[in-house]
Structure 1
Amino acid sequence: MARIKRGTTTRAKHKRILESAKGYYGRRKNTIRIARQAVEKAGQYAYRDRKVKKRSFRALWIQRINAAVRAEGLTYGQFIHALKLANIDLDRKVLADIAMHEAEAFSAIIAQAKAALPKEDKKAA
């Protein structure tokens, strides 16, 4: 049986890893052992941060809504509660976008939400 040389497959594997490590700093971009570790760690960060990204954006939307609602005399929690009572089904992403770009429309949503609050909650607000 003939001997099989594995140089072609090894070079292909190395090339794939080094292409992934392109742009890295120092020996991480051109030394296969270090590049392999760097690429693997980058993949772990990417996997983790795809989940974290969703949390970060939700937190940002909540901050934007809270800032816009406080200018109208409500808190974020009171506003979300009032939206539920008024049967306004807008998610936080859309609410934040409206608050940022269409202030008049957001003021109208806040007015509808305030109208749906019971009497004793209106006194507190």
Structure 2
Amino acid sequence: MARVKRGVHKRKHRRKVLEAAAGYRGVRSRHFRAAKEQMLHSLTYAYRDRRDRKGQFRRLWIAKINAGARSHGMSYSRFMEGLHRAGVEVDRKVLAEMAVEDRQGFAALIEVAREHAHAPAGVARSESVEEPA
């Protein structure tokens, strides 16, 4: 069997890793072994955080919607319940944008949600409900 010499491939691989590690601090950008280890960690963090970013945006949208709903005297959960019962299918990203940019449109959605949401405990309803004897 012929002998396999890997000089060219090895140099190409090392150069690729060191170029990817450019910008890292200290030894991690200059020494192959440290650069390779740091690059593997960096790729792991990037993969994890791409998924985490989606949850962060969802939390941001919920905070904006909650602030907009509370400025109209309604909690986030009651607002979303009312929209769900009314059959309004607008996602949180659009609702958050409306709460900040389109206040009249958001106020209209608040009224729709208010009509369809259940009254919170301790609040009298306008409908007549029979009390159990």
CA distance in 1, matches of 2:117, 2:110: 11
Hey, what does 1:82 align to over in structure 2? Answer: 82
Taking a change above 3 Å as real, the CA distance of residues 116 and 2 of structure 1, as seen in their structure-2 partners, is closer
Question: Could you tell me the TM-score, scaled by structure 1's length?
Answer: 0.90
Superposition CA RMSD, Å: 1.8
TM superposition shift of 1:2: 6.0
Q: Which runs of 4+ in 1 moved over 6 A?
A: none
Hey, what does 1:107 align to over in structure 2? Answer: 107
CA distance in 1, matches of 2:2, 2:112: 81
Hey, what does 2:127 align to over in structure 1? Answer: none
Task: Name the SS for the 1:47 alignment partner.
Answer: helix
TM superposition shift of 1:37: 0.5
% identical aligned pairs: 40
Aligned 1:2-17 pairs, distance under 5 A? 3-17=3-17
Q: Which runs of 5+ in 2 are unaligned?
A: 125-133
Hey, what does 2:70 align to over in structure 1? Answer: 70
CA distance in 2, matches of 1:109, 1:94: 12
TM superposition shift of 1:86: 1.1
TM superposition shift of 1:104: 1.3
Q: Which runs of 5+ in 1 are unaligned?
A: none
Hey, what does 1:57 align to over in structure 2? Answer: 57
Hey, what does 1:48 align to over in structure 2? Answer: 48
How many residues align? The count is 123
CA distance in 2, matches of 1:50, 1:110: 33
Q: Write 1 or 2 for the structure with the bigger share of helix.
A: 1
